Amino acid sequence: MTPSLAPAPAPLDVALLDTISLYIHIPFCHKKCHYCDFNSYAGLLGWRTKYVRALVREISLAGQAARMPDGARRRCRTIFFGGGTPSLLKASEIAAILQAAQAAFAVDADAEITLEANPGTLEYHHLGELRATGVNRLSMGAQSFDADLLRWMGRIHSAEEIVTAVHAARQAGFTNLNLDFIFALPDQTLAQWTDTLDRALALAPDHLSLYSLIVEPETPLFDWVEAGTVNPASDDAAADMYLLAQARLAQAGYAQYEISNWARAGHQCNHNLTYWHNLPYIGVGAGAHSSFAGRRFAAVRPVAGYVAALGGDWEPTATTFGTVGGPVTDSETVDDATAMSQTAILALRLNAGLDLDHFARRFGVTFAATFGARLTDLVAGGFVEYVGDAETGRRLRLTERGRLVGNEVFERFL
Ligand code: SF4
């Protein structure tokens, strides 16, 4: 089945390289889900006040270090509260963090500001307050509508709470709403997946993210699989569920724009597009990753270590930002060859593909000249194709054939 294609996006402006997206990590959860390897912790909510204070300080320092050469604040196009469970914070705490972001960066007046929410933690009567802070997009981890599968995953919410949360969010004025689901769960049937998709579509979300279950090390799920008490779904079962989702979502008017993401017109996630376009982003909070000024770096993962580092006298400057020290534990310089490979691989996840003119302006060399014979072979083999023209923007994207062996195609660009 041919996936529906999102409308061709506008060509990317090189000026976007001077902007950032801001990711804010909230590492608290009521309970760890059995499959989750994110940097999130149960039982640490007592750290919340100190953690918010540390975040506010880090945002202010990051804003200073990321100033433009003329001293102006750097433009910030999107903000994303991820986790963990950001919906465990009070609206007043979200407001304080956003104020810090606005003081540190030149945040667009119409910036997309997303908050990830667990339907089991939303205080419905506070959703209006949350909307009033400036958060204008909610992303809910729904995961399934099947009560047994929700229990098996260790989720803290019921199927009914997903419905209540969506209705409450709409009533509070959220007009941009995403629902996340996981498929290819052990013993999940096509009928269960169909039912989940139908119930999700009945709620008319603006965006849907569908991920197949991955067995990550250091999770209870990994131990169960190792012990042989759980059998992961087969690749065939996962492919059947993926194809079913593609068909049903296309029928319901959602355009697929990335391997795992679908949206109604005008509701693609701009924050995640920053990652897929390999544009700069700054992550703040425990374990958060950044890609900025030719470096990739990550902050210390433990909550206590992060709070302690920000309580000290660490102060990044334009030249030390992203180097190891302070809350940063890991930092690497990204050379042009690596940046070109990453840009190609990330953009090929998008249905629209890679913007070739932007690539040439960004790196000062054409994509064809960079990848030469490897690219010619992939085009001749029918794995990638050129679309668009000089006026609409020329692009390179995976063909249907290329999608089936996406990882092998990506490897050719390494
Ligand atoms: S709620 Fe999200 S971040 Fe927290 S444990 Fe579950 S999957 Fe992980």
For 217-245, the pLDDT digits (tens) are 999 999 999 999 999 999 999 999 999 99
Q: What is the pLDDT of residue 325?
A: 80
- Find the mean pLDDT for residues 100-119: 97
Q: What is the pLDDT of residue 404?
A: 83
Q: Are residues 251 and 361 in the same domain?
A: no
Is 372 part of a structural domain of the chain?
yes
Mutate which of 26, 28, 34, 38 for ligand 1? The one with the most ligand atoms within 8 Å of its CB, which is: 38
| Interval between CA 156 and ligand 1 midpoint (Å) | 10
| Interval between CA 32 and ligand 1 midpoint (Å) | 6
ω into residue 325 within 30 of 0, thus cis? no
Q: Are residues 219 and 345 in the same domain?
A: no
- Residue 362 pLDDT greater than 50, yes or no: yes
Identify the domain containing residue 369 by its residue range.
336-412
Is 293 part of a structural domain of the chain?
no
Is 283 part of a structural domain of the chain?
no
Q: What is the pLDDT of residue 1?
A: 44
- Residue 148 pLDDT greater than 70, yes or no: yes
- Domain C-terminal end among 234, 250, 276: 276
- Residue 124 pLDDT greater than 80, yes or no: no
Task: Tell me if 296 sits within 8 A of 280, measured CB to CB.
Answer: no
Q: What is the pLDDT of residue 6?
A: 56
pLDDT digits (tens, 9 = 90+) for 177-187: 999 999 999 99
| Interval between CA 141 and ligand 1 midpoint (Å) | 8
Is 317 part of a structural domain of the chain?
no
Q: Establish whether residue 230 lines the binding site of ligand 1, counting it when its CB lies within 6 angstroms of any ligand atom.
A: no
Q: Are residues 45 and 193 in the same domain?
A: yes
Domain count, the chain: 2
Is 228 part of a structural domain of the chain?
yes
| Interval between CA 217 and ligand 1 midpoint (Å) | 15
- Find the mean pLDDT for residues 52-73: 96
Local confidence band at 326 (pLDDT 50, 70, 90 cut-offs): confident
- Residue 82 pLDDT greater than 70, yes or no: yes
Q: Are residues 340 and 200 in the same domain?
A: no
Q: What is the pLDDT of residue 319?
A: 86
> Which residue has a Cα nearest atom 5 of ligand 1?
32
Local confidence band at 8 (pLDDT 50, 70, 90 cut-offs): low
Is 93 part of a structural domain of the chain?
yes
Q: Are residues 260 and 405 in the same domain?
A: no
- Domain C-terminal end among 276, 310, 326: 276
Q: Establish whether residue 33 lines the binding site of ligand 1, counting it when its CB lies within 6 angstroms of any ligand atom.
A: yes
Q: Are residues 32 and 161 in the same domain?
A: yes
- Find the mean pLDDT for residues 119-134: 89
Q: What is the pLDDT of residue 238?
A: 95
Which CATH number do you get for residue 345? 1.10.10.10
Q: Are residues 266 and 349 in the same domain?
A: no
Q: Establish whether residue 84 lines the binding site of ligand 1, counting it when its CB lies within 6 angstroms of any ligand atom.
A: yes
Q: What is the pLDDT of residue 318?
A: 86
Q: Establish whether residue 278 lines the binding site of ligand 1, counting it when its CB lies within 6 angstroms of any ligand atom.
A: no
Is 1 part of a structural domain of the chain?
no
- Domain C-terminal end among 243, 259, 276: 276
Q: Closest ligand 1 atom, CA of 35?
A: 7
Q: Establish whether residue 118 lines the binding site of ligand 1, counting it when its CB lies within 6 angstroms of any ligand atom.
A: yes
Q: Establish whether residue 40 lines the binding site of ligand 1, counting it when its CB lies within 6 angstroms of any ligand atom.
A: yes
| Interval between CA 261 and ligand 1 midpoint (Å) | 19
| Interval between CA 402 and ligand 1 midpoint (Å) | 32
Mutate which of 25, 28, 32, 143 for ligand 1? The one with the most ligand atoms within 8 Å of its CB, which is: 32
| Interval between CA 158 and ligand 1 midpoint (Å) | 15
Q: Establish whether residue 351 lines the binding site of ligand 1, counting it when its CB lies within 6 angstroms of any ligand atom.
A: no
Q: Establish whether residue 213 lines the binding site of ligand 1, counting it when its CB lies within 6 angstroms of any ligand atom.
A: no
- Find the mean pLDDT for residues 66-77: 97
pTM equals 0.95
Which CATH number do you get for residue 59? 3.20.20.70
User: Among 119-123, 220-224, 226-230, 405-409, which is the least confidently predicted range?
Assistant: 119-123
pLDDT digits (tens, 9 = 90+) for 83-108: 999 999 999 999 999 999 999 999 99
| Interval between CA 36 and ligand 1 midpoint (Å) | 6
Mutate which of 25, 26, 29 for ligand 1? The one with the most ligand atoms within 8 Å of its CB, which is: 29
- Find the mean pLDDT for residues 265-277: 97
> Which residue has a Cα nearest atom 6 of ligand 1?
33
Q: What is the pLDDT of residue 324?
A: 84
Q: Are residues 45 and 160 in the same domain?
A: yes
